[in-house]
Amino acid sequence: MNNNNLYQYILGIADNSLILGQRLGELTGHGPSLETDIACTNMSLDLFGQVRSYYQYAAKIAGDGRTEDDIAMLRKERNYLNVLLVEQPNTDFAYTMARQFLFDVYHFLFLQELQKSKDLTLSAIANKSIKEVSYHQRFSSDWIKRLGDGTEESQKKMQTAIDDLWRFTDELFHQTDADKSMVSEGVGVDVTKLKDTYYKKISDILEESTLKIPESKYFQKGGKQGIHTEHMGYLLTELQYMQRAYPNMEW
Amino acid sequence: MTTTEQQIDPKLIKVLEKVSDPEIPVLSIMDMGVVRSAIIEEDLVKVEITPTYSGCPAMDVIGDDIKKALKEAGYNSEIELILAPAWTTDWITPRGRKALEDYGIAAPLSAQADKDALLGNKKIVKCTNCGSTNTRLVSQFGSTACKAQFQCDDCQEPFDYFKCLK
């Protein structure tokens, strides 16, 4: 098996969770209420925990002396392979929950399949993570319903967030070269096969929430190739600050 | 690696029972079910532990505490963190569940009951203060990754519920 493909494949999965975890972590002490603040940071912690397992494995595969921290903290923007969706900012709580919901539904479907991977480390991580992600999905879906089917104002805000983030959903189902190679090895998940189920699940919940399903066919992509939106640089600046300012610092 | 059976050398049980979860000090790590194996190989004890939640910050401390406890009992040890099979709340022992309740944390329900409780469909989580089931969910996420927040509508006491993980 081509180790570089496996390495790239692991990064593709892990970077989504790292960057989303960072976004959620930004809400520490800034959530709209104590409970939602704690919930967002709990989810962030789950994602960071999962990410550690992935990066530890990636470090082992790379075998060049880099540690999990080096991989997580010291890459340049173009080398992060997360989808554009997860790097979008916490514009307001509707955006935070819409982003979470659009990712959670995908994340759950993805992990369900990754559990069947021939790679025992990846299937073990998936098996562990999916239990946590099912709680995330429940939480974000719940907020879509509460805000969507809430007041006129909350519905307007949630609809705006869904409409605005919709263009980042299609990228979740794009296959990279590493994806294709890992799928053919029985290691990776064929994301193209998740697409119909994903949009069906999303549509059902949006309808239940009295929200409109966006009709736009315009989608943005690039994250999986390391070409990010303008928000990514700022996010990384904060994420990497300690390691850049105090190289090799340990917790 | 995929066995759900614990393999603990009987000589080590007493030592390991003394190590507690740093976030829930009344609960021994043995009752928590996070120690999956502890085997004496010549002069080294090999211990495998598994996290409750992926991001559980207690795991590093638990690993250190196990090392310390074994050292005091005269053993050198090696700790390995394993992910498979994934931890489930079913591995908490009856004694562990009782310790949780006594401490003020409602013990996990079955998977279906948990879903009903966390969606607010049914009032089934028992207040750890007065025993009433007239309780309501405050938030699905609590003070640590493994807990949700509840409040009792009879005695008004807020309390934690240990979420079911299966």
User: What tens digit of pLDDT does each residue of A166-176 get?
Assistant: 999 999 999 99
Is residue B87 within 8 Å of B33, Cβ to Cβ? yes
A174 touches chain B (CB under 8 A): no
- Do the Cβ atoms of B139 and A35 come within 8 Å? yes
Contacts of B117 in chain A (CB under 8 A): none
Instruction: Provide the pLDDT for residue A117.
Output: 98
A134 touches chain B (CB under 8 A): no
In chain A, the largest separation of any two C-alpha atoms, in whole Å, equals 55
CATH code of A214's domain: 1.20.1260.10
Contacts of B119 in chain A (CB under 8 A): 138, 142
Whether residue A211 lies inside any domain: the answer is yes
Contacts of B83 in chain A (CB under 8 A): 53, 121, 124-125, 127-128
Question: Range of A76's domain?
Answer: 3-245
**Over 80: is that where the pLDDT of A30 sits?**
yes
Whether residue A63 lies inside any domain: the answer is yes
Instruction: Provide the pLDDT for residue B120.
Output: 72
Distance between B80 CA and the closest CA of chain A, angstroms: 13
Mean pLDDT of A194-221: 97
Whether residue A251 lies inside any domain: the answer is no
Mean pLDDT of A56-74: 94
Of A202, A65, A218, A91, nearest to A141 (Cα)?
A202
Burial of A239 (0-12, 13-18, 19+ CB in 10 A): buried
A39 touches chain B (CB under 8 A): yes
Domain boundaries, chain B: 7-91, 104-162
| Residue A124 three-state SS | helix
Whether residue A205 lies inside any domain: the answer is yes
Q: What percent of chain A has pLDDT over 90?
A: 96
Instruction: Provide the pLDDT for residue B3.
Output: 53
**Over 90: is that where the pLDDT of A121 sits?**
yes
Instruction: Tell me which residue in B53, B118, B119 faces A49 most closely, judged by beta carbons.
Output: B53
ipTM given for this complex: 0.82
pLDDT band for position B1 (cuts 50, 70, 90): very low
Mean pLDDT of A133-137: 94
Instruction: Provide the pLDDT for residue B4.
Output: 66
Q: Which class would CATH give B7-91?
A: alpha beta
**A173-A175-A179 Cα angle (round to 5):** 125
Pairwise CA distance, residues A177 & B24, whole Å: 46
Write down the mean pLDDT value for chain A. 96
Instruction: Provide the pLDDT for residue A1.
Output: 56
Contacts of A42 in chain B (CB under 8 A): 141-142, 145
pLDDT tens digits along A77-118: 999 999 999 999 999 999 999 999 999 999 999 999 999 999
The total of structural domains in chain A comes to 1
Give the contacts of A234 (CB within 8 A, at least 6 positions apart).
none
**DSSP letter at B146?**
T
Distance between B3 CA and the closest CA of chain A, angstroms: 13
> Pick the residue with more confidence: B96 or B122?
B96
Whether residue A250 lies inside any domain: the answer is no
B1 touches chain A (CB under 8 A): yes
